Structures are given as structure tokens and as C-alpha cells.
Amino acid sequence: MPTFQSYDGTRLAYHVEGSGEPLVCLPGGPGRASGYLGDLGGLPRTLIRLDLRGTGASARPDNPDTYRCDRLVEDVEALRTHLGLARLPLLAHSAAGDLALLYGARYPERLAHLLLIAPLGRAVGFELTEDEWHSGLERLSDRPWYDDAYDAIMAWNSGDGDPEIRLRAAPLNPSHPRAV
């Protein structure tokens, strides 16, 4: 898989799949490698999936400040430069929506298209209240997996870092197949 050097010397990896016009894809998470995006259902595009720093095959820098969303913008810009694209067609999922919005704000002349899939919106001041968050979860309460996933996400949000808890909470992630 190809790699490139970002603004601070960190080696970042990306994956290329498909054919057609390029589409750079940023994975959600945060902290999630791009592999889960797959081929996005077989889009007729050359998908370029970036493994953000510290995920997948990308290097893990020691300085935690470099993981901030506003600093990751420069990783996206370094990828654009590496690919030789004058303007970037960009798709971002979940938490990466904030990264894509910040990229567009910093480099509007370098953005060709922006597609946001289930973005968080914090970069533009959108925040769910606790009540709105619970109300959204309750809309899924008729699903057979809901009780277990709800208990798990409550434990996770209370600080339980057990990886099993995160897996049990996964159906409440909008990209999870059982959440549909």
C-alpha cells in the first residue's frame, strides 16, 4: 500500500481501490482505520482511503497534539499534494465530517466536492443535548439487539474501556449493518 510523508514527517498510508475519477475517503471513528469503508458499494470511482495517523498502516506519532482534528487538516492537504490533485473530491464519514469541514474552511479553493455521511457537525457548532441523544437512541428500542447495545454504550460513556463493551455498543453506530 502506498504511503506519503505528512507535514511533520509522519508516514501515512492510504489504500487505492476501483477505477474512475478519484474520491478521497476519510474514515470515522475517531481512531478507526479506513478498511471498514470497503469499496463503498462499488462506486464507479477510484477510492483513495486514508488511514489517519495512528490508525491502520499509518504511523503513530508520540505527540498527542498532532491527533487534534484541526491538525489532521494538514494530513489531508499533504495527501492532496502527494496525489497531485489541484482540487480534492472528499467524502467523510461520521467524526471525519468535522475534519472535512475544517479542511474546506481552511482550503476552500482546493476542495472540488464534499460529501458528508452521518457527520457529527461539531466543527460548525452543532451539538446534541443529552436529551436529544437519548431520544435518538430510543427510536431504535424496538430492535432485538437494542437492550444489550444500550447497556454497553452507557457503560462505555461512563468510562468502561473494555473492548468487549465497544463491540457490544457497535449496533448503535450509524455505519453498523444492524443499525439500519
Interval 142-176: pLDDT, tens: 999 999 989 988 887 787 767 788 788 878 765 55
- H or E element at residue 89: strand 88-93
The pLDDT value given to residue 2? 98
For residue 120, give the C-alpha cell. 457529527
The pLDDT value given to residue 75? 98
For residue 180, give the C-alpha cell. 439500519
Distance CA 136, CA 80 (A): 36
Tell me how crowded residue 180 is: count the other CB atoms within 10 A of its CB. 8
Domains by residue range for the chain, with CATH: 3-124 (3.40.50.1820), 130-179 (no CATH)
Q: Are strands 88-93 and 46-51 parallel, antiparallel or unpaired?
A: unpaired
Helix (H, G, I), strand (E, B) or coil at 69: helix
Q: Are strands 11-18 and 88-93 parallel, antiparallel or unpaired?
A: unpaired
The pLDDT value given to residue 179? 47
The pLDDT value given to residue 176? 53
The pLDDT value given to residue 173? 67
The pLDDT value given to residue 180? 38
Q: Are strands 22-26 and 88-93 parallel, antiparallel or unpaired?
A: parallel
The structure's pTM equals 0.76
For the chain, residues with pLDDT lower than 70 are 161, 173-180
